[in-house]
Structure 1
Amino acid sequence: MNQSPVEQQAATPWAGLRERLGLALLLDAALPPAAFLVGLAAGRIGTGASAAAAVAVLLAAVRLVRREPVRPVLVALAAVLLAALLVHRSGRAVDFFLPDLGVNAVLALWFAVSLALRRPATATVLRLLGVRRVPPGQWANTAVWLAFWCLHLVVGVPLYLAGLAFWLGVVRIAAGPLLWLPVAWLGLRAARRAGAEAGTGAGAGAGAGAA
């Protein structure tokens, strides 16, 4: 079955995203907060923070031994260590998830501003990931991701303010990076549809002008 030009372009970023949002990233993102929740369920906040940091260090060591890309490993490790430090200093379990909420707020702001400026953030992200031919319709892709970041804040901020660390952790694990790949698929699908509609509209306009 022959693909349209838009579909052929969308296939390239999808393949790249599937490769980068694989099992290793999901483990790096899910296991440290899961270890924190285990310690928290045992009634010891400090133990949970230490367990999360230990798991993050172990995962980073495994990635380095296997000679996998260093930058994502170090970023994930730094985020967990920062979260553990906040917990040790404040004594509040919810502060473990404060860096994650901060990152979501920054991403939501960036994606919203990029839409307002008509420079979709996902186009920049895809180029940084090495995608040579960024598909058209990236405003739709950016809008999907913006909704995802805002959903995190709508759910997470009230849980943080209420001090519900356990449920905040559940949301962090279940609706965090585990959903990045499905959201990426939805975003690229939305971009493909928007690009196709834009192409159809441009073709119709050109035909009317010629007539």
Structure 2
Amino acid sequence: MSEHSASASESGVTAQGRTDDQHAGQDAEKTLLEQMGGISGLAYSAVPIVVFVVVSALTSLMPAIWASIGAAVLIAVIRLVRKEPLQPAISGVLGVAVCSFIAYRSGEVRGFFLLGIWTSLVYGGVFLASVVVRWPLVGVAWSLLNSLGFSWRKHRRAMLGYDLATLAWTVVFAAKYVVQQWLYDSDQTGWLAFARIAMGYPLTGLALVVTIWAVRRAAKVAEEVAAEEEAAAARSGPAAG
């Protein structure tokens, strides 16, 4: 291989690597938002909560339960008519139904928020455990979603990025659990609803930023490894010949 060809080859690898890195970040943002139902999905998720709290304050528990379920079903129908992804909407209806059932069984308005509190505790524990056992959940989930394999576990910088992203989600779930459990114990239903919504967007957004950074970092590491292997193959080629 001539010097010019080798240089051109390395430039091509670098350029392709940069492109892959950019695509990885864009795909990360797109995939993560899609899993959450997009920007509209984040907004829709707050509607049944607001409806439940307002109706319970004006009337009683049972009307609030039916109103929140009705709001969730209406959102699902709207998404169907607009040909938007239905999975987040179906999950929303099921989530509201389970929350409503818990509230009904407990006989308390605040029971509507127990599922979210428990879920935050469980998720936080799972994310933390995945870091401890060296299989950070953000990296595992991203690899499975995109069929990328787990070669990133061999590279310290990629592992560190996914560790930090996974810990960011751990902090998010821990914060939600601590604050909302305290409000639940204090029987502050209105503030509990406010915390559920207000803590959702900012904290989730922060965790998403760290996650996208981790995906880009892992893609950059993969790019550098590929460039090193190509350069090594180019050097060993003439020697082998």
TM-score with structure 2 setting the length: 0.70
- CA spacing shift, 1:185–1:141, aligned 2, 3 Å: same
Task: Select the structure of larger CA radius of gyration.
Answer: 2
Instruction: Please name the residue that 1:162 is paired with.
Output: 186
Give the Cα–Cα distance (whole angstroms) in 2 for the partners of residues 9 and 129 of structure 1: 12
- CA spacing shift, 1:194–1:111, aligned 2, 3 Å: same
Q: 1:58 aligns with which of 70, 74, 79?
A: 74
- CA spacing shift, 1:149–1:57, aligned 2, 3 Å: same
Q: How many residues align?
A: 199
Instruction: Please name the residue that 2:28 is paired with.
Output: 13
Deviation at 1:162, TM superposition (A): 1.7
Give the Cα–Cα distance (whole angstroms) in 1 for the partners of residues 59 and 202 of structure 2: 27
Q: 1:181 aligns with which of 198, 205, 224?
A: 205
More off after superposition, 170-179 vs 144-153? 170-179
| Counterpart residue type for residue 81 of structure 2 | V
**Structure with the larger helix share:** 2
Instruction: Please name the residue that 2:49 is paired with.
Output: 33
Deviations 1:114-147 (A, max 9, x none): 0011001112322354374888321111011111
> Would you say 1:45 and 2:67 are equivalent positions?
no
| Counterpart residue type for residue 176 of structure 1 | G
Deviation at 1:196, TM superposition (A): 7.2
- CA spacing shift, 1:171–1:49, aligned 2, 3 Å: same
- CA spacing shift, 1:74–1:127, aligned 2, 3 Å: farther
- CA spacing shift, 1:133–1:188, aligned 2, 3 Å: farther
Q: Which consecutive unaligned segments of at least 5 residues does structure 2 have?
A: 1-14, 153-157, 225-241
Instruction: Please name the residue that 1:205 is paired with.
Output: none
Q: Which consecutive unaligned segments of at least 5 residues does structure 1 have?
A: 201-211
- CA spacing shift, 1:6–1:100, aligned 2, 3 Å: same
Secondary structure of 2:205 counterpart = helix
| Counterpart residue type for residue 63 of structure 1 | R
Give the Cα–Cα distance (whole angstroms) in 1 for the partners of residues 193 and 203 of structure 2: 15
Deviations 1:145-173 (A, max 9, x none): 11101010110111112221111110111
Instruction: Please name the residue that 1:82 is paired with.
Output: 98
Instruction: Please name the residue that 1:118 is paired with.
Output: 134
Instruction: Please name the residue that 1:73 is paired with.
Output: 89
Secondary structure of 1:33 counterpart = helix
Give the Cα–Cα distance (whole angstroms) in 2 for the partners of residues 54 and 124 of structure 1: 36
- CA spacing shift, 1:11–1:155, aligned 2, 3 Å: same
> Would you say 1:105 and 2:121 are equivalent positions?
yes
Give the Cα–Cα distance (whole angstroms) in 1 for the partners of residues 56 and 23 of structure 2: 47
Instruction: Please name the residue that 1:203 is paired with.
Output: none
- CA spacing shift, 1:174–1:40, aligned 2, 3 Å: same
Give the Cα–Cα distance (whole angstroms) in 1 for the partners of residues 75 and 202 of structure 2: 17
